[in-house]
Amino acid sequence: MNVHTSGSDCIELRRLYRYFGKTKAVHDISFSVPRGHVFGYIGPNGAGKTTSMRILSTLDLPSYGDAFVDGFSVVNDPELVRRRLGFMPDSFGTYRDVNCEEYLDFFARAYGLVGRERTQRLKWVLEFTGTVGMKDKPIRGLSKGMKQRLCLGRALVHDPAVMILDEPAAGLDPRARIQLRKMIRELADRGKTILISSHILTELAEMCDAVGIIEQGQLLATGSVDEIQLQRNQTRELTVRILERALDAAALLTSTSEQEGCASPASHVLGEPIVDGELLRFAFAGDVRDQADLVAWLIDKNFAVAEIASHRKSLEDVFLQVTEGLVQ
């Protein structure tokens, strides 16, 4: 048994490679996810997301490198990994003439749950996924959304520490996606570590603590949306409402930002502010602390700052800027 410890990280990919002939499905991927965090894994079709997830789930072996789930190697200790892992694939098999409770009970037995423990786990899973009222209903009569809930329940039935969810929201209606998002966040709050892939980037931005962007088998960026933007020197747009003297403020910001070696917060202002009545709009290269300093600086210069708004690029904007749309 090969136990690898890495602090509080519950998922770790270390120099992971997976080749299919000349195709580099996964090429030198390394990242980790702390316990209780949700990590969004995004990239175009064929980027290597599912291959990475299959390796983490012990359904495939890496060509080189290793991955760890709750401290155990997927290469050396696959059985121990499976006991700690719940995998929800993008498509899954069901049995048409089996009802929901029978389906979950089958997998609970497969994981070795017996007696009272199995009964309690089935009860909790049905309640958590909202399928109690459909436990006697044949699977063939379930909607897409209810089938996704059932699949999530199957992945949860043995109380895993780590969840791997491959496109769980695909094909769901808006209400079902919102409910699924709430369940995923609740699982993370309960201490489960979740790796999730999705093409619905707005939802990932809302539920994930960090994301990883992959293309052509290579990891291009990791971190929160703000961190990735800062890594790539991306700016935010500020809109500042200044009562009565907006033109004077714009002139001062422009002249101050152009002074070489200026240490004032105005040095983060890029270009000339656009004046629209009481509103000033300009690109700003600083972080939130620099933004707060800028407001204090303007007030110190006797400008009446009524309000300020910051506009960061969305995860979709970041994704488009980081990737090139390449496939393999």
Residue 261 has pLDDT above 60, yes or no: no
10 Å CB burial of residue 153 (0-12, 13-18, 19+) is buried
What sign does the dihedral 81-82-88-91 (CA atoms) show?
A: positive
pLDDT digits 0-9 by tens, 109-124: 999 999 999 999 999 9
Q: Length of the chain in residues, anyone?
A: 328
Residue 244 has pLDDT above 70, yes or no: yes
Q: Is the pTM of this model over 0.85?
A: no
In DSSP terms, 215 is beta-bridged to 218
Mean pLDDT of 224-241: 76
Q: What is the DSSP letter of 98?
A: -
- Domains located in the chain, CATH noted: 9-230 (3.40.50.300), 235-312 (3.30.70.2470)
Query: How many C-beta atoms surround the C-beta of residue 20 within 10 A?
Result: 10
- Provide the residue type at 215 as one letter: E
Measuring CA to CA, which residue among 120, 115, 17, 8 is closest to residue 75? 17
Rounded to the nearest 10 degrees, the angle between the axes of helix 115-129 and helix 144-156 is 140
Determine which helix (DSSP H) or strand (DSSP E) holds 102, and give its type and residue range.
helix 100-110
- In a 3-state reduction of DSSP, which class is residue 218? strand
